[in-house]
Amino acid sequence: MGWGVATLLLISFFLLLLDPSLSLPLCTDSRAPATLKTPLEFCSYSGKACCNSTEDSQLQKQFEAMNVSDAACASLLKSILCAKCDPFSAELFTIDSAPRPVPLLCNSTVIANSSQAPQAANNFCATVWDTCQNVSVLNSPFAPSLQGQAGSPVTTNSTKLTELWQSKSDFCNAFGGAASNESVCFEGEPVKLNSTGTPSPPRGLCLEKIGNDSYLNMAAHPDGSNRVFLSNQAGKIWLATVPQQGSGKALEFDEASPFLDLTDEVHFDTEFGLMGIAFHPNFAQNGRLFASFNCDKVQWPGCAGRCACNSDVNCDPSKLSPDNGAQPCQYQAVIAEYTVNGSASKVASAESARPSEVRRIFTMGLPFTSHHAGQILFGPKDGYLYFMMGDGGGLGDPYNFAQNKKSLLGKIMRLDIDNMPSAAEIDKLGLWGNYSIPKDNPYTEDADLQPEIWALGLRNPWRCSFDSERPSYFMCADVGQDRYEEVDIINKDGNYGWRVYEGPYTYFPPQSPGGNTSANSIDPIFPVIGYTHNDVNKNEGSASITGGYFYRSMTDPCTYGSYLYGDLYGSAIWAGIENPENSGNFTSTMITFSCAQDSPIQCSFVSGSSLPALGYVYSFGEDNSMDIYLLASSGVYRVVRPSRCNYACSKETVTPSASPPVSSPPSEAATLSSLNLTMVLLFSSLLLILQASI
């Protein structure tokens, strides 16, 4: 094999494997597949699909316009066109964020050149060539100009593959690709992911206590170092250094010198406070940071915004009764922008931020005193700011805000904070502050939606996260009302059912001054995992979910890949396990947890039990080494090696050495640590093959 060809195949194959962002059932427009009431007539998909009947009809017209006379070739081309309806069409048609005219065709010759055993024995790309190479196809989707590949010149008379492409090899280099654990390809039938057996849940989760104080938020420093930001509900943010695993040290920071103190602006109460912090993806260069908090307009003149209960959503603030917790917009939800102290050349090393706002991004008055959510996150792929907002409170969302497309309550919003709008744009779109709307927000396709909305139908999304390895997995825990606590995979324009549904169960609100939404009028996306209130706190009958993270650290290799989440009341932690991988199908197991005897700070235990006394579990956190933390009322806990709690894990190395702390700015080793270990090993194997082939 020549160096150029070998290199091309190696790089192409590696790039396919390295982009796992498009996984799980997902359509090309970033939406989740919809449930079909009847099978598609032309494409024959049933159950869930990415096409509706109108799109199915359009595909039929496109197929008929090709005027294919050969029956065998026509059958293949029909399946290729209909792949747009496949629940995994996003992965089939989008590689490295570039849309394709046809799906990625399975090509076993690419697999044969890799170190992996063939995973797609059907060389579908070769079958297409062999069957259709001399068949006339009008408006062929295989034109080289469409694929951006070099090939024979395209003329108006070129309708056969042999006229469009010089050889089968050229054709399959352009349209073929290999299946792997992180990508799929099309082999003529709806995509089915192979199950490798149900993964085993971890035997137990071992924790160490490294802090005594209570925090609501943790954010890893964007410079990649071993530093994190911690914030409490009262309004203070600290910059702390995370100790090395196994060092016996606790968090290091000066409690008397917070990074930013917003306590004068923040209204702190049971469900009010500093609810979220987020740092611009380019924070290490621009020093921009954002805080989401609640304020009281009676106490602070800067707390003033439009009420979420207004005529646009058929709500009259004067009719909100204090008897059911209503405080008509005395309290506000705010997102504000701040910047660090110091010179532009030393942003990454800044030890404090200026307490005065640079810009007010968002302000909205809250109708009730509960269900405000308030977390903010930057999307790892798009760089936009996601803002989680609850239904505004009240028993059973009485005004049906979560289903009202003109209300921002009960929604996840997606905002562009890098491009400020003009006054005309603010008026035209009815914006609630200084931000722009991303051009691909779903309102462009659903005129009934407020432009900020990315997803709707949530009650009180309490802690969301993006999977560090698969950014398309945007997981949000949503607190239930009476019966069910849920975790959802958030997709563009997804409707998560509340208050028509509470989790998978039909919900009947006790009062409905804001009207009702019929179950037949929505296409709800049900939770992937969750639990009933009977599963925890059986004596108290209470539960409230706290969302977590996919565990991506190798500190506990037996927990790797599990989605960890818990209950607010600190008595239960679960591991959600996906099987098959990338399918969106989860099972959940309650796992035992304990505290290491050599914990830097000694743990307290529940009376008469070996269970650590966590108190309330407010949040989970993740640092730049992908280690996971529990932020509890009794302190900060980190997940450590299972052997430190005598949990058996066959994947754990004997007496593993602790990783050295990463300094700021990040070293090359820190950058490598964020790569998928499997990808690194595979790339090394491919390099060996390449060297042997020269």
Left, alpha or beta for 582 (phi > 0: left; psi -120 to 50: alpha)?
left
pLDDT band at 155 (very low <50, low <70, confident <90, very high): very low
The one-letter amino acid code at 559 reads T
β-strands 105-106, 176-177 pairing: parallel
The answer as to whether 279 is a domain residue is yes
Give yes or no for residue 684 having a pLDDT over 70.
no
Would you state the pLDDT for residue 552? Answer: 98
43 and 18, same structural domain? yes
Higher pLDDT, 166 or 177: 166
Structurally, the chain folds into a number of domains equal to 3
In a domain, 468, yes or no: yes
- Quickly state the pLDDT bin for 179 (edges 50, 70, 90): low
Q: Are residues 279 and 340 in the same domain?
A: yes
Mean pLDDT along residues 71-80: 97
Q: Are residues 636 and 567 in the same domain?
A: yes
Tens of pLDDT, residue by residue over 584-596, are: 999 999 999 999 9
Does position 671 have pLDDT exceeding 60, yes or no? Answer: no
Average pLDDT of the residues in 531-539: 78
Average pLDDT over residues 238-255: 96
The half-sphere exposure of 446 on its side-chain side, counting CA atoms within 13 A, is 18
Is a pLDDT exceeding 70 seen at residue 384?
yes
Instruction: Decide if 669 is inside a domain.
Output: no
Name the average pLDDT for the chain. Answer: 87
**Residue 331 and residue 252 share a domain:** no
- Looking at the DSSP bridge assignments, the partners of residue 218 are 230
Terminal C-alpha separation, the chain: 6
Tell me, yes or no, whether 447 lies in a domain: yes
The Cβ-side half-sphere exposure at 10, using a 13 Å CA radius, reads: 20
Query: What does the pLDDT read at residue 234?
Result: 98
Answer whether residue 596 is part of any domain.
Answer: yes
- Could you read off the pLDDT of 552-571 as tens digits, one per residue? 999 999 999 999 999 999 98
Same domain, 433 and 573: no
- Where residue 644 falls among pLDDT bands split at 50, 70, 90? very high
Give me the pLDDT at residue 157, please: 55
Task: Give the CATH number, domain containing residue 393.
Answer: 2.120.10.30
Q: Do 500 and 583 reside in the same domain of the chain?
A: no
What is the helix (H) or strand (E) element at residue 462, kind and residue range? Answer: strand 461-466
Tell me what percent of the residues of the chain surpass a pLDDT of 90: 73
Tokens of 633: 């009322």
**In the prediction, which pLDDT does 458 show?**
98
Q: Kindly list the strands in the beta sheet with 274-279, ordered across the sheet, starting from the edge strand earlier in the chain.
A: 274-279, 288-296, 331-339, 359-365
Residue showing tokens 């599990």:
562
Residue 285 and residue 432 in one domain: yes
Residue 526 placed within a domain: no
Give 115's pLDDT tier (boundaries 50, 70, 90): very low
Amino acid 151: pLDDT? 39
Please indicate, yes or no, if residue 533 is contained in any of the structural domains.
Answer: no
**100 pLDDT exceeds 60?**
yes
pLDDT given at position 636: 98
Indicate the residue among 123, 148, 177 that finishes a domain.
Answer: 177
**Location of structure tokens 């034109």:** 143
Lowest-pLDDT range, 130-144, 156-170, 620-634, 649-663? 649-663
- Asked if residue 618 is part of any domain, the answer here is yes
Phi, psi of 423 (to 5 degrees): -60, -35
Q: Give residue-wise pLDDT tens across range 459-488.
A: 999 999 999 999 999 999 999 999 999 999
Residues 6+ apart with CB under 8 A from 650: 558
600 close to 644: Cβ distance less than 8 angstroms = no
Which is nearest to 14 in space by CA: 685, 692, 693?
685
Residue 540: pLDDT above 90? no
Q: Has residue 343 got a pLDDT over 90?
A: no
Please state the rounded mean pLDDT for residues 656-672. 41
The gap from C-alpha 211 to its chain's centroid, in whole angstroms, comes to: 28
Is the pLDDT confidence value at 4 over 50? no
Of 200-214, 382-396, 540-554, the one with minimum mean pLDDT is 540-554
- Angstrom CA distances, 178 to 93, 199, 691, stand at 14, 24, 21
Assess whether 115 and 136 both reside in one domain: yes
Residues 278 and 239 in one domain: no
- The residue segments making up the domain with residue 626 are 196-258+463-479+544-663
Q: Please tell me the predicted confidence (pLDDT) of residue 602.
A: 96
Q: Residues 348, 428: one domain?
A: yes
Q: Is the pLDDT of residue 669 over 50?
A: no
Would you say residue 677 has pLDDT above 60?
Answer: no
Mean pLDDT comparison of 113-127, 345-359, 530-544, highest-scoring range: 345-359
Cα distances from 539 to residues 425, 535, 536, 592, 605, in angstroms, run 54, 11, 8, 19, 19
**Contact 553/202 with Cβ under 8 angstroms?**
no
Say if residue 433 is in the same domain as residue 470.
no
> Does 475 lie in the same domain as 500?
no
Average pLDDT of 634-644? 98
Residue 12 binned pLDDT confidence (cut-offs 50, 70, 90): very low
Band of residue 678 on the pLDDT scale cut at 50, 70, 90: very low
> What integer pLDDT is reported at residue 666 of this predicted model?
42
Region 285-292 average pLDDT: 97
